[in-house]
Amino acid sequence: MLAVALSRAGTLPHGYEAKDKVDEMTDYKSTLNLPQTEFPMKASLAQREPEMLARWQAMDLYGKIRAISAGRPRFVLHDGPPYANGELHLGHSVNKSLKDFIVKAKTLAGFDSPYVPGWDCHGLPIEHNVEKKLGKAGKKVSFAEFRKACREYAAAQVEIQKQDFVRLGVLGDWANPYLTMDFKTEADTVRALGKIAANGHLVKGFKPVYWSVVGGSALAEAEVEYQDKTSFAIDVRFPVANPAELFARFKGQGVTLNLDGIQNVSVVIWTTTPWTLPSNQAVCLNAELEYALVDCALESGRETLVLATAMVDEIMQRYGSESYGVLGSVKGAALEKLSLQHPFVDKQVPVILGEHVTTDAGTGAVHTAPDHGVDDFNVGMAYGLGTLNLVDDDGVFTSAADKFAGAHVYKADELVIEELKERHALVAVKKIVHSYAHCWRTKTPLIYRATPQWFISMNEQGLLQSALDAVAKVKWIPDWGQARIELMLKGSPDWCVSRQRTWGVPITLFVNKETQQLHPRTAELIEEVALRIEQKGIDAWFELTAEDLLGAEAAQYSKVTDTLDVWFDSGVTHYSVLQQRGLGYPADLYLEGSDQHRGWFQSSLKTAVAMYGTAPYRQVLTHGFTVDAKGYKMSKSLGNTISPKEVFQEYGADILRLWVASTDFRGEMTASTEVLKRVADSYRRIRNTARFLLSNLSGFDPAQNLVAPDNMVALDYWITRQAQLLQHQVVEDYENYHFLGVYQKVHNFCVIELGSFYLDVIKDRQYTTRDDCLARRSTQTAMYHIVEILSKLIAPILSFTADEIWASMPGQRAESVFLSQFSEGLPLLAESADMNDQFWQQVMAVKTAVNKELEKQRNDKLIGAALSAEVTLYCDAGLSSLLSRLDDELRFALMVSHAALQPMSAAVDAATTEVPGLQLRITPSANTKCVRCWHHRADIGSNAAHPELCLRCVENIDGLGEKRLYA
RNA sequence: AGGACUGUAGCUCAGCUGGUUAGAGCACCUGACUGAUAUUCAGGGGGUCGCCCGUUCGAUUCGGGCCAGUCCUACCA
């Protein structure tokens, strides 16, 4: 523009006469309405997004949304709290992105959808990190100091994670999130426990639980991980106390025995945990399995053993015996309650029966120590066997363990084996590598240990059945989630909620020292404690004494010092957060990874049912995990991780969000550089489409120039309606959490309806007609509606870009797209009667056929640009009457310089097409090209004032302007 | 080891209750335009529907088995 002005003023240096012609052309160019916009093609998201965040924050966008949403129907997505420890990974981003899509889509759909993010702040991992710095609580530092350090550590972690969530563009109450370590939340967690206790679900039990001897604490199942471990595998004799009794049992089953020379008879057990032998209380057989009396020659001499019949050969081979014989076999049931001599403790133990005994490994006879195994404990209970408690909190044998007293369980295997050798009780010993339970934090082997613990009983008050009933009323997405959680519930034992740790919400109970019963005023006491915790945090409990609350009766009660399983904290947030913050109960939606069927979905369900008898959620949505290009899970050790930070920097948060939307979250979600590149490509397409729409709206003021639907050019009316139809489909996709559909539909609309048809076609009209004529205002009106719809449709996903588009749109509007609604704007246009949706579909098909033929000519170097060609369409009657409706404007729809309709019978040298009833012929135009509109027209030169222009252009420059009705 | 889920073009995904040459977008190749220009338009090539076996006139679609991956559980004395 500037150059033209200068040349007109004659300020160009001499010697540029050759440029005159160019100048003349550019002169006409200045009469065109070419696109113009400040909206950059290059997104520069890494830089621009933080600026937009600052803007949202400055205007208090979240607060404004809350204000305008007040009174609308509620939709509450309750945030499952991530654990306040460690860098965020892609999985966090997936989870938070999906939540944000939903909250934003619900907001735009006219709901009041608050989002209060949370963090899980107590528990072992944090404690462990603090331990590394300060040492163990109670040793190097006081418990109070330790807890203070944990609190500070967690708070710092929250801040670190929060930054990335905010950076991701997640809109929520970030200034006031919920932390499970908030004093108020801690107090309400205690109150929740009180309610569950009051409802009779909390029981004190004595059970073997996973115990970390290094951590000195019981662990939840979720805190256990499996690693390979080398263990001793030993075969041990349990001599039969009274062989005659054993023989009698065989005879009782009709087995005749030749007992010549038989003296020593033993049942042999196999174990990989020799250290548990001091706690042995029984040997367990399977009632249904056959057991053989085997006479064999071992290195140590001839003896008789009881072994599972099916395993005799295998076992003899293992023992290196080549000479052996089976004297007879009986079912395990026949040997019940037979007395055996413990190999080194002066006592006899019974043979008992249990279904868990198999012939997979060992001897078919299982050493049973109820202290150290769940199966053992359960089967022992059935036989009235209790626990011995020979191992203390640190994994050291107590004085009751006699000669093993003072030995650590990690060291006791060798001692036991020595003892067995001395007693001639060891048949075989070797080392095996097997997968074994380890502490997820300290990476040390775990043991089972029977300890006094607090349980939420699944059966005491029918919790299991109530939970199953509640599950059935919830909508699970995908639907297999229901079967999954039901299966888990049915298989889940009583929930051990007590931990012997420092950084956790205390179990604020007083137990009668004599009766082990809870204090009769437990409910009142808990409320008193809760009030104190509200003021001072959990330290309030640890600091108070029984006397403080119980006065004189304190002597009869002991104060429980255990803490709660962290899963309890997050599990009761339906009470401590949803209800206490007035968000409502139950939540409309919980949304987490599929692993949470076992975790948060379950802990939330159990506690809610225990408190109210109902599920805390109406719907549960789950997503899968992220994997790499090969389908393997992302892990640091494999080195195949992609961090959200990397993606923010390299592509931007909108790209990360678009990736989440573009991937089917129900299964594994593949993230790789290729995938991200593809996503970035399609982002650019959407962005550029919006940019082009905006660039054509320069000079358009909707208040002045908006064309009423009835006055719009047919094509513009049609595309506006198409955009509206798209909107309806996309809004439905949002409702169904089908973001993949949103992404694909929006992208395809940009590419197909807009890119390869509408926008291509209307360029001629948009550029060449008078800037204020109806033909042009009509298409601008369409583009105005489209870009507004587009901005709203992508807003939940491409939040930054949507608001950037929003800010670039002409007209008066809310200061952010998030303050608008899907339903605002033009009501859905009715389908046009004569040029309906199907009509334009046909036109597009014809255009595609023309394109194919043009391409052939182009490949033969006969034509270049489409406008250098003319087309004759030979049509059957139906198609002819259809296309003739476009009248003279058919050529604009087909984007050629001339288009003529002929009957099929006139076809000569015509190409067949894929469109039924259509043949066509393309010819290079014989006419010259209009320097302004580039159409090749016969009427060029008809106007002496503009010798290089077609008459259409002359009309648009000097006349009243061209009229368009259809395209 | 058991359970659940997943496996369709290089990538992301459609393919309803089994039925004509399996679709879309991207990527790729070729070309056009240069008035969306680190953009846009057009045309084109590309798939043993994880593998095997059944049921059926016919299977990507149903059944069984296997393989691979993911999540959960168990790992066992």
Residue A480 has pLDDT above 80, yes or no: yes
Sign of CA dihedral A206, A212, A215, A219: negative
A731 CA to B6 C1' in angstroms comes to 27
Of all protein residues, which has its CA closest to the C1' atom of B36?
A: A692
Q: Estimate the crossing angle of helix A951-958 against helix A759-768, to 10 degrees.
A: 60
Cβ–Cβ < 8 Å for A118, A79: yes
3-state secondary structure of A576: helix
Residue A15 has pLDDT above 70, yes or no: no
Mean pLDDT over residues A498-502, rounded? Answer: 85
Residue A646 has pLDDT above 80, yes or no: yes
Q: What percent of chain A has pLDDT over 90?
A: 64
Q: Estimate the crossing angle of helix A714-735 against helix A90-108, to 10 degrees.
A: 120
Q: Look at residue A112 in the predicted model and tell me its pLDDT.
A: 98
Angle at A922 between CA A918 and CA A923, to 5 degrees: 150
Distance CA A899, CA A870 (A): 6
Q: Which residue did the predictor score with more confidence, A743 or A413?
A: A743
A649 CA to B75 C1' in angstroms comes to 43
DSSP track, A725-788: HHHHHHHHHHHTT-HHHHHHHHHHIIIIIIIIIIHHHHHHHHHHS-TTSHHHHHHHHHHHHHHH
Q: Look at residue A541 in the predicted model and tell me its pLDDT.
A: 95
Residue A94 has pLDDT above 70, yes or no: yes
Of all protein residues, which has its CA closest to the C1' atom of B5?
A: A667
The pLDDT tens digits for A718-731 are 999 999 999 999 99
A351 CA to B31 C1' in angstroms comes to 87
Q: Which residue did the predictor score with more confidence, A742 or A236?
A: A742
Decide: pTM greater than 0.90. Answer: no
Q: What percent of chain A has pLDDT over 70?
A: 94
Sign of CA dihedral A45, A47, A49, A51: negative
The pLDDT tens digits for A769-793 are 999 999 999 999 999 999 999 999 9
Residue A436 has pLDDT above 50, yes or no: yes
Q: Look at residue A23 in the predicted model and tell me its pLDDT.
A: 46
DSSP track, A248-307: HHHHHTT-----TT---EEEEEEES-GGGGGG--EEEE-TTSEEEEEEEEETTEEEEEEE
Q: Look at residue A220 in the predicted model and tell me its pLDDT.
A: 61
Distance CA A396, CA A872 (A): 97
- Which helix (H) or strand (E) element contains residue A198? helix A183-198
Q: Is A254 exposed, middle or buried (0-12, 13-18, 19+ CB in 10 A)?
A: exposed
Q: Is A530 left (phi over 0), alpha (psi -120 to 50) or beta?
A: alpha
Q: Which nucleotide is nearest to A599 (CA to C1')?
A: B72
The pLDDT tens digits for A840-893 are 999 999 999 999 999 999 999 999 999 999 999 999 999 999 999 999 999 999
Weakest mean pLDDT among A7-21, A410-424, A696-710: A7-21
Q: Look at residue A253 in the predicted model and tell me its pLDDT.
A: 66
The pLDDT tens digits for A130-168 are 988 988 777 789 999 999 999 999 999 999 999 999 999
3-state secondary structure of A387: coil
Say which residue the tokens 């550089």 belong to. Answer: A673
Residue A11 has pLDDT above 50, yes or no: no
- Which helix (H) or strand (E) element contains residue A56? helix A45-58
Q: Token pair of A628, please?
A: 């790499």
- Which helix (H) or strand (E) element contains residue A566? helix A566-571
Q: Which nucleotide is nearest to A29 (CA to C1')?
A: B35
| pLDDT band, residue A24 (cuts 50/70/90) | very low
Q: Which residue did the predictor score with more confidence, A272 or A258?
A: A272
Distance CA A82, CA A285 (A): 45
Say which residue the tokens 């420890």 belong to. Answer: A85
Q: Which nucleotide is nearest to A866 (CA to C1')?
A: B32
Q: Look at residue A221 in the predicted model and tell me its pLDDT.
A: 58
| pLDDT band, residue A358 (cuts 50/70/90) | low
Q: What rounded mean pLDDT belongs to chain A?
A: 89
Chain B nucleotides covered by protein, CB below 7 Å: 3-7, 10-14, 24-27, 30-44, 68-77
Q: Highest mean pLDDT range out of A63-67, A278-282, A328-332, A380-384?
A: A63-67
Weakest mean pLDDT among A167-181, A190-204, A491-505, A774-788: A491-505
| pLDDT band, residue A488 (cuts 50/70/90) | confident
- Greatest alpha-carbon span in chain A: 135
Q: Which nucleotide is nearest to A369 (CA to C1')?
A: B77
Q: Look at residue A933 in the predicted model and tell me its pLDDT.
A: 96
**Alpha carbon A814 to chain centroid, angstroms:** 32
- Which helix (H) or strand (E) element contains residue A871? strand A869-875
